[in-house]
Amino acid sequence: MIQVEHLVKRFGEFTAVDDISFEVRRGEIFAFLGPNGAGKTTTIKMLTTLARPTSGTVEIDGLDPNGSSHEVRKRFGIVFQDPSLDGDLTAYENMELHGVLYHVPRKVRVERIEQLLRLFELWERGNQQVKLFSGGMKRRLEIARGLLHTPKILFLDEPTLGLDPQTRNQLWTQVKHLNQSEGVTVFLTTHYMDEADRVAQRIAVIDHGKIVAQGSPQELKQQTSRDSLEEAFLALTGSTIRDEAASSTDQMRQFGKLWGNRR
Amino acid sequence: MSVIYVLWLRELRRYVRSRTQIVASLGQPLLYLVVLGFGLGPVFQKAGQGSYLQFVAPGIIAMTVLFSSIFSGMGLLWDRQFGFLRETLVAPVPRIQVMLGRTLGAATVAMCQGLLVAIVCFVVGFRVADPRALPVALLFMALIACLFSALGTAIGSVLQNIQGFQLIMNFLVMPIFFLSGALYPLNNLPGVLSIVTRLDPLAYGVDGLRTALMGASQFGLAADGSVLVLVAMMLLFIGSYLFSKIQV
Ligand SMILES: Nc1ncnc2c1ncn2[C@@H]1O[C@H](COP(=O)(O)OP(=O)(O)OP(=O)(O)O)[C@@H](O)[C@H]1O
Ligand SMILES: [Mg+2]
C-alpha cells in the first residue's frame, strides 16, 4: 500500500530524513516510532503530498504523491500532529467543512457527525467556537474529524497526544474497528510504546532520520532481548534526550496572542 | 454543497464573528475621511477643485476595499501558521477550487467593509451625483475586491510567515494606495509620477468608482473596467498557480 525507497529530505544543510526505505502492506496497522525530531512528521508530509522529497521514491497505492497528488489525496485521511482546526468555526462547522471537502454525501455526513461528536463527547459543545475548547477537547475534535470519512489509508501522527485514557481507548477501538471491518491501512506514530505494542502489527523505528529497526513488536523485543517494547525502543535509540528548539509555529502563536488573536 | 461555496462561507462566518475587528478597521478610513476631508477642504476649494470631501470619499472607499481584500487574502498566512491550511491542502479537491473559495470569500468580506465605509461617508456628508450609477459603483468595488484578494492570496502563497507582512505593507500596499489618485487628482502630475500612477491598477479602480459616484473621469469607464478585469484575471491565474505549489 505504501512503498518508500531511499527517501531523503534535506532542509538546507540539515538532513531530516536520511535514505529510508520501508513498506506498509495493505490492511496492516503500521507504527512509525522514534524520538523527538527523528523525522516522523517530515516523512508523513512527504507521503501525504504536503512536501516534496529531496530524493527517493514514494508510492501510495501505486501512485506518486508528487505526480498524481490529486489521486493520492483521494486515498488517505490524516490526523495531524499539530492543530489544524479553524478556531473561529464551531465544532460542528469544522466537521461539516471536512465532510464537504471529502465529498461525504449530506445524509451520511449529518449522521456521522452526530455519531462521532457523541462518541468523543463533544455533541453538547457542538455549537461552540473551537477556540473556546480545552486542549484535549480540540484534540478529540481533530480525531473525530479524521474518522468522518473512510479512506483507504489513515495517517495518525501522534493522535493520542494530550488525551485522557478514556479517549485514547476509544480512539484505538475505533481505529481497530476501521482496520478490521473496512480494511483500512493505518500508518501511525506515537510516543506511547504500550499503544504501539497493542495495536501495531509491524513497527519501524527511526532515529536521526535513519531507520534503525523494523519488524513486529515481538521481533523487536527478541532482537534487543528486552521484555517490553519501551525497553527495546530505548535500547535501539539510546537514552539521551533530544532537545528541539521552539518551532516557528510556537513563535507565531505567541505573536498571534500579542495581537489578541486567540486561536 | 460545493467546495468553493463552503470555503467562501467560512470566510464570511469568520468575518461576521469578528465584530470588534470590524469596528476597529473602520477607524482608519474614518480618520482619513474626517481629517483629510475637512482638513484639506479649504485648500482644495481655493484651488478651484470643489469639495474635497466629495472628491476623497470614493478614494477612501477604494482604500478600504484595497486593504481589506489584501488582508483577507493574506489570511492564508494565519491559516498556515495555525494549521488550518493543511486541512484544506490534503483534501481530495482541486486546489484551484480551494483558492477560488478563499479568494471570493476575501473579496466578499472586502465588499462588506467597503459598503460600511460608504455608509460612513454618507453620514459624514458625502452625496452621490446620480443614484442610478450606484450599480456601476458596486461593480467597480467588486472588481477592486477580486483583484486585490487574488493578489493577497498570491502573496500569502509565497510568504512563509507573517514576518514579511510589514515589507508587503510598506513596499506594495501603501504605494498602491498613495499612487492611485485616491487622495489627489491624477491630472497635471509631473512626468514620472504620471507614468507610475498609470501602472497602478487601483488608479483605474478609483477612477471608475469616482466616475460612477461623481461623474468626472480620467481614463474613461470602459478603459477602467477592462484594465481591472484583465489584471484581476491575471492575478487569479498567477495566484492559483502559486497556491497549487504550496508546501507546508
Ligand atoms: N520546515 C523545516 N525547516 C527546517 N527544519 C525542519 C523543518 N521541518 C522539520 N525540520 C527538522 O527536521 C527534524 C525532524 O522533524 P520532524 O517534525 O519530522 O520530527 P518528528 O519525528 O515528527 O518529531 P516529534 O516526535 O517531536 O514530532 C527536526 O530536527 C526538525 O527541526
Ligand atoms: Mg512529529
Element (H or E) spanning A155, and its range? strand A153-157
Residue with cell 532542509: A11
Does residue B44 contact residue B52 with C-beta atoms inside 8 Å?
Answer: yes
Q: Return the number of other C-beta atoms located less than 10 Å from residue A192's C-beta.
A: 15
Please give the helix or strand (H or E) that residue A46 lies within, else none.
Answer: helix A40-47
Closest CA to A24 of A195, A146, A153: A153
B 13-42 → A contacts, CB under 8 A: 13-14, 17-18
Q: A253 pLDDT band (50/70/90 cuts)?
A: low
pLDDT tens-place string over residues A219-228 = 999 999 999 9
Give percent of chain A with pLDDT exceeding 90.
Answer: 88
For the CA atoms of B39, B40, B42, B44, the dihedral, rounded to the nearest 10 degrees, stands at -170
| A85/B contact by beta carbon, under 8 A | yes
Ligand 1 atom 25: residue of nearest CA: A36
Chain B hits for A96, CB-CB cut-off 8 Å, are 6
* B114, pLDDT greater than 60: yes
Round to whole Å and give the CA distance between A61 and A79.
Answer: 19
* A149 pLDDT higher than 50: yes
Interface contact flag, A249 B1, Cβ < 8 Å: no
Report the pLDDT value the prediction gives residue B215, as an integer from 0 to 100: 83
pLDDT category, B164, cuts 50, 70, 90?
confident
* Chain-chain contact of A73 with B92 (C-beta, under 8 angstroms): yes
Considering chain A, what percentage of its residues have pLDDT values greater than 70?
A: 92
Q: Is A42 on the interface with B (CB under 8 A)?
A: no
**Is A80 inside a domain boundary?**
no
CATH code of A7's domain:
3.40.50.300
Question: pLDDT at position A260, please?
Answer: 45
Residue B105 vs residues A186, B14, B92: alpha-carbon distances, Å: 35, 10, 20
**B83, A249: Cβ pair inside 8 Å?**
yes
Task: Kindly state the average pLDDT of the residues B112-132.
Answer: 92
Band of pLDDT at residue B25, cut at 50, 70 and 90: confident
A34 Cβ closer than 6 Å to some ligand 1 atom? yes
Residues from chain A contacting residue B243 (CB–CB below 8 Å): none
Nearest to A163 by CA among A190, A201, A198, A145: A190
What would the pLDDT profile of A15-74 be if each residue is shown by its tens digit? 999 999 999 999 999 999 999 999 999 999 999 999 999 999 999 999 999 999 999 999
Give the bridge partners for A215, in sequence order. Answer: A203
- Please check whether residue A8 lies inside any domain of the structure: yes
B177: its cell numbers: 494606495
The residue whose CA has the least distance to atom 17 of ligand 1 is A41
How far is B101 from B185, CA to CA, in rounded Å? 36
pLDDT(A180) > 70:
yes
Task: Give the structural domain span for A220.
Answer: 2-75+151-262
Cβ-based contacts of B3 with chain A (< 8 Å): 100-101
- Contact between B83 and A50 under an 8 Å Cβ cutoff? The reply is no
* Ligand 2 centroid distance, CA of A34 (Å): 9
The pLDDT tens digits for A201-236 are 999 999 999 999 999 999 999 999 999 999 999 999
Contact A236, A248 (CB under 8 A): no
B141 grid coordinates:
468595488
> Residue ranges of the domains in chain B?
3-244
Q: Mean pLDDT over all residues of chain A?
A: 91
Number of domain units in chain A: 1
Q: Which residues of B touch A48 (CB under 8 A)?
A: 90
**DSSP class per residue in B167-187:** HHIIIIIHHHHHTTTSSS--T
Are residues B71 and B152 in contact, defined by beta-carbon separation less than 8 angstroms? yes
Helix, strand, or coil (residue B34): helix
Task: State the angle between helix axes of B52-73 and B201-214 in degrees (0 to 180), rounded to the nearest 10.
Answer: 140
3-state SS assignment for residue A129? strand
Helices (H) and strands (E) in chain B, counts: 14, 0
Cα separation of the two ends of chain A:
36
Cell 532520520 appears where? Answer: A209
Residue A139 in domain = no
pTM across the whole model? 0.90
Calpha distance A6→A8 (Å, rounded): 6
How far is Cα B98 from Cα B85, in angstroms, rounded to an integer?
10
Could you tell me if residue A156 is inside a domain? yes
pLDDT in tens, B68-85: 999 998 899 999 999 999
C-beta separation of A92 from A117 below 8 A: yes
Rounded CA-CA distance A194/A221 in Å is 13
pLDDT value, residue A250: 52
| pLDDT computed for residue A239 by the predictor | 72
What percent of chain B stands above pLDDT 70? 100
CA of A82 to the centre of ligand 2 (A): 8
Residue B127 near chain A (CB below 8 Å) = no
Nearest CA to A220 out of A240, A206, A208 is that of A206
Judge whether residue A248 has pLDDT over 70.
no
CB contact under 8 A, B92 and A78: no
